[in-house]
Structure 1
């Protein structure tokens, strides 16, 4: 099993004006929730560890996870509203978010909830849940516990910087520094990199992070493809051509597909990931890029199912 931790929310899209206001289209979302559903759709056993509200939007989020086959026994139900992420799209389909979540349900995950976390082969963390409290402290505690008590488990982390949730970049730096010794697979987008280290050399940064124990650093670059930095050198995959609708969920799809590909190869462990050679990574990254391209061809975070993707090369 893969346990995914973090926020679950509603992405709210502008659906055009009405006679008396504006029509909105709310869809299940949140980067970790997307990863969990993406893994389930790719045939991987997956559980979700996070807090979800008891209101009608929270009920819809829980229903969506369960309908997709995600194990929800580790979900904490709380009496708090569901975070809303208002999504605006540029003419090129690139998403811009505004989050309304202060005091919302996805932040209400506490250390006592760690007793709910099941044993698993891999654990995925990500996005703004890592930098807001109390959920961030709870998840970082879990990551440290895994390092000490389950060192064989694979830990992946998607930084996914959201300055409209936490504008203090120093906070993002501090959390990344805290997570580096616990993380085997680290993913960032080129936008994340620009926020954290504008103008920096990605290869040099990857080398610094690997000195803390990270086995693989993946940098996704949208229309420029993706590059993975291994201890033995970089691996680049070109973007997959697609009829772009929007980029919502593309990074989440890439990460879910990369974890699924590792599972299919029998490499879902800290030791196995560290042992993979650059030539081993190329088909795995290509599979992830193909999955992300499919999501980009559809409205919102509608992640692909396993039958929509080719067999691993």
Structure 2
């Protein structure tokens, strides 16, 4: 396979339209080795933060990705996929060694279970002044890279909105108590947090998830969202709370669904001009109608993704919903 490391994505825009500040996404990029009963293994580019960056770019929100990939054929696949989707890599993201992989086994219900081989180290805090910094999953908690992620959040937090998706991976995150403490420390630094019901059930067994969401909100975020798969999503902020049902869709598999929801939520915030620290007071004042609109857009993005195999998030043209500016 020929290398794509010299390909330079260009953020395209109509000549009379100024580009918004690019979003910085930090976290793992890897190859999903997808195994379905009776089929050959299918290799696809994945990683929760990478999927969010791709989802944002397809929704016309420019994104750059800081990650760690090796110098191998898998890295070629990752770089080609990023270039095709107009997501730039932060310099220093390609290093010697092999790229990370995740074996995703698809069950009869379409849900995926994972086995990971992760290599995670980062060079340094990148320069720039993005309107949004998004992180989550393995890259936010696995050392040595996690320390660079935390430092970057602290450096950019005065000017950027911070979003976080814990995307819990119990096999990589150690004991529940220590994982919970680290995740809560990241929630404290974030403005927008999205977690799945499975995440919270592992972190807080036998606890009502709406109680957990309100507790996380009280740690500091402006919005905490809990997704419940086919039953919908719940969001709570300082001024309002709302629950929505999931859109009807034909399920193929759930790979990338949560990442697509996250990208949709962040794109909706961009559409509403709510990204950047200067908009924090408006973000914290969102009423029930505004929260509902954000969730419905995000859920529509996830519904498209689960109707297609693998992490294949939608473009604007695939959606019939929009967010009021």
TM-score by length of 1: 0.91
Question: Among 291, 295, 302, which residue is 1:281 paired with?
Answer: 291
Is 1:2 paired with 2:2? no
Moved over 4 A (4+): none
* In the alignment, structure 1 residue 108 sits paired with structure 2 residue 108: no
Within 5 Å, give how 1:1-313 maps onto structure 2.
1-14=22-35, 23-101=40-118, 104=119, 107-110=120-123, 113-114=124-125, 116-147=126-157, 151-270=158-277, 271=280, 272-312=282-322
Higher alpha-carbon deviation: 298-307 or 50-59: 50-59
Q: Contact between 2:239 and 2:286, CA under 8 Å: does it hold in 1?
A: no
* Per-residue Cα deviation, 1:202-260 (whole angstroms, up to 9, x for no partner): 33323322232111110000011000011223211111111100000000000001101
- Matches of 2:140 and 2:50 in 1, distance apart? 14
Stretches of structure 1 that go unaligned for 5 or more consecutive residues are: none
* Kept in 1: contact 2:241–2:291 (CA 8 A): no
Residue 77 of structure 1: CA displacement?
1.2
Once the two structures are TM-superposed, the CA of residue 75 in structure 1 deviates from its matched residue by 4.9
Q: Deviations over 1:283-311 (max 9, x none)?
A: 11101111101100000101111111124
Could you say which structure has the higher strand fraction? 1
Query: Shift of the alpha carbon at 1:30?
Result: 0.2
Q: Taking structure 2 as the reference length, what is the TM-score of the superposition?
A: 0.88
Q: Do the aligned residues in 1 keep the contact of 2:242 with 2:292 (CA within 8 Å)?
A: yes
Q: How many residues align?
A: 299
SS at match of 2:129: coil
Counterpart secondary structure, 2:201: helix
Q: Compare 253-262 and 224-233 and name the one that shifted more.
A: 224-233
Partner of 2:5: none
Deviations 1:105-126, CA, capped at 9 Å, x for gaps: xx0214xx21x34210001011
| CA distance, structure 2, for counterparts of residue 171 and residue 131 of structure 1 | 10
Structure 2, unaligned runs of 5 or more: 1-21
Asked whether the equivalents of residues 6 and 126 of structure 1 are also in contact (C-alpha less than 8 Å), the reply is: yes
* 2:213 and 2:226 in contact (8 A); partners too: no
What is the rounded CA distance, in whole Å, between the counterparts of 1:210 and 1:108 in structure 2? 30
Cα deviation 1:61-87 (Å, max 9, x = unaligned): 112111110122345211121111111
Equivalents in 2 of 1:152, 1:274: separation in Å? 16
Q: Which whole-Å CA distance do the structure 1 matches of 2:212 and 2:183 have between them? A: 12
